[in-house]
Amino acid sequence: MVYPGTRPTVLKNRRILLIVSGGIAAVKIPDLIRRLRERGASVRCVLTESGAQFVTPMSLAALSGGKVFQDLFSLTDESEMGHINLSREADIVLVAPATANIMAKMAHGQADDLATTALLATDKPVMIAPSMNVKMWEHSATKANLATLQDRDIHVVGPGAGDMACGEVGDGRMAEVMDIVAALTDFFVSRAALGPLSGQSALVTSGPTHEPIDPVRYIANRSSGKQGHAIARALADLGANVTLVTGPTQEPDPDNMTVVAVETADQMLAACTAAAPVDIAVCAAAVADWRMAESTTSKIKKTGGASLQLNLTENPDILTTLSKAGSSRPRLVIGFAAETENIIDNGIAKRDSKGCDWIVANDVSAGFGGDDNTVHLITEEGADSWPTLSKKAVADRLATHITDHIKKS
């Protein structure tokens, strides 16, 4: 049975940083992780020292499928996933249970362990599920801390009323697991509906194209589609009505947008044309530059060491076509330049030749397919070099720049 309001697909591919603090309600957290992962969310856990008195790191690791972070001063953890990246790689930070202690630290900006440091360093939305004794919940200090957190746009789910482990009855009981799942779902639904790109339409291309040589071979490149798909999700999360046109990729199709699957450059161009008019176009796909001049319906056979010559012709230039579309041109056209040398200079030259507004020039000398990207955003104002970031972080950052531009234009 689907719990009312959960709309399971909304949480698919969402990244949740779950901070588990020290309260008896922590025993419910394994079930919460299980329910979130059932709905396609990924969960990364931070466990406080007091939280570890109620639930073990091993159980959280087994259920979340990943490492559990505990120590702010762990050389290994900080080198692999620093507390700042940990707090910013998520779509939302959830504190459950949120004890009176951690709420007080959050309200006063304390950062004396990994959990509170991550909370202070995050630039992502935060939700808390309070859990404490009824007298603690009703105390004026807790009320003041709660008001401070709400003034800072911290989202609150619960608490509920009922029997407590201490034997008292009243408010302070952590929200039920499915109520927390529903609150997370409602958050993502409302964020898209009220987002800064609400009412804007966006076209994103992603992945490679496959250009047939014969029925069993094709010309392609090594694009994974991770960056394009991440950009599509980031724009949709901000409220845009997104059409994702994707070549063959192993990336899962996002649920909150229109997805058009294609194989060849001709098919991708046709899908982009059909999606017009749009306000924003991001051409992140790595379209093959060439295709066979003449297709063959039979497999080309090897002939004992003889060389093979393929007669190729250029594929249509999708970025140029969108950039020079006249009255139907998107308000903002962004292309990608995958380069192995002279990254910025080649990116500037591509922007000038294609007629697009921005170019995201990325260094692919280490190859396609990784989870990180090093990019330079090239606009009419010059080149802005970004540090190496996860592809999700690149997408979020680019979506923020797009939002700022659309607001000003």
**What tens digit of pLDDT does each residue of 136-182 get?**
999 999 999 999 999 999 999 989 877 766 666 667 889 999 999 99
Q: Is the pLDDT of residue 340 over 90?
A: no
Average pLDDT for residues 78-86, to the nearest whole number? Answer: 63
The residues of the chain that CATH labels 3.40.50.1950 are 8-193
Confidence of residue 116 (pLDDT cuts 50, 70, 90): very high
Domain at 8-193: CATH code: 3.40.50.1950
Q: Is the pLDDT of residue 78 over 60?
A: no
Average pLDDT for residues 90-117, to the nearest whole number? Answer: 94
Q: Is the pLDDT of residue 58 over 80?
A: yes
For the ranges 63-77, 85-99, 303-317, the one whose mean pLDDT is highest: 85-99
- pLDDT per residue as tens digits for the range 200-248: 999 999 999 999 998 999 989 888 999 999 999 999 989 899 999 999 9
Quote the pLDDT of residue 389. Answer: 87
Print burial letters for 238-276: b (CB count within 10 Å at least 16), e (below 16): bbbbbbbbbbebebeebbbbebbebbbbebbbebbeebe
Report the CATH architecture of 201-408. Answer: 3-Layer(aba) Sandwich (3.40)
- pLDDT per residue as tens digits for the range 247-281: 999 998 887 789 999 999 999 999 999 998 999 99
Q: Is the pLDDT of residue 407 over 90?
A: no
Instruction: Name the one residue in this structure whose structure tokens are 């698919």.
Output: 12
The residues of the chain that CATH labels 3.40.50.10300 are 201-408
Print burial letters for 158-179: b (CB count within 10 Å at least 16), e (below 16): bbeeeebeeeeeebbbbbbbbb
| Higher pLDDT among residues 11 and 366, named by residue | 11
Quote the pLDDT of residue 388. Answer: 87
Residue 272 annotated to the active site: no
- Active-site residue (options: 45, 166, 283, 356): 166
Displacement of CA 320 from its chain's centroid (Å): 28
Q: Label each residue of the chain as H, E or C.
A: CCCCCCCHHHHCCCEEEEEECCCHHHHHHHHHHHHHHHCCCEEEEEECCCHHHCCCHHHHHHHHCCCEECCCCCHHHHHHCCHHHHHHCCCEEEEEEECHHHHHHHHHCCCCCHHHHHHHHCCCCEEEEECCCHHHHHCHHHHHHHHHHHHCCCEECCCEEEECCCCCEEEEECCCHHHHHHHHHHHHHHHHHCCCCCCCEEEEEECECCEEEECCEEECCCCCCHHHHHHHHHHHHCCCEEEEEECCCCCCCCCCCEEEECCCHHHHHHHHHHHCCCCEEEECCECCCEEECCCCCCCCCCCCCCCCCCCEEECCCHHHHHHCCHHHCCCEEEEEEEECCCHHHHHHHHHHHHCCCEEEEEECCCCCCCCEECEEEEECCEEEECCCEEHHHHHHHHHHHHHHHHHHC
Instruction: Name the one residue in this structure whose structure tokens are 């935060």.
Output: 126
Average pLDDT of the chain, as a whole number: 89
Quote the pLDDT of residue 5. Answer: 41
Give the rounded percent of residues in the chain with a pLDDT score beyond 90. Answer: 64
Quote the pLDDT of residue 195. Answer: 81
Closest CA to 238 of 72, 367, 351, 396: 396
Q: Is the pLDDT of residue 10 over 90?
A: no
Q: Is the pLDDT of residue 1 over 50?
A: no
Quote the pLDDT of residue 80. Answer: 56
Average pLDDT for residues 26-41, to the nearest whole number? Answer: 94
Among 6-20, 213-227, 306-320, 383-397, which stretch is predicted with the lowest mean pLDDT? 6-20
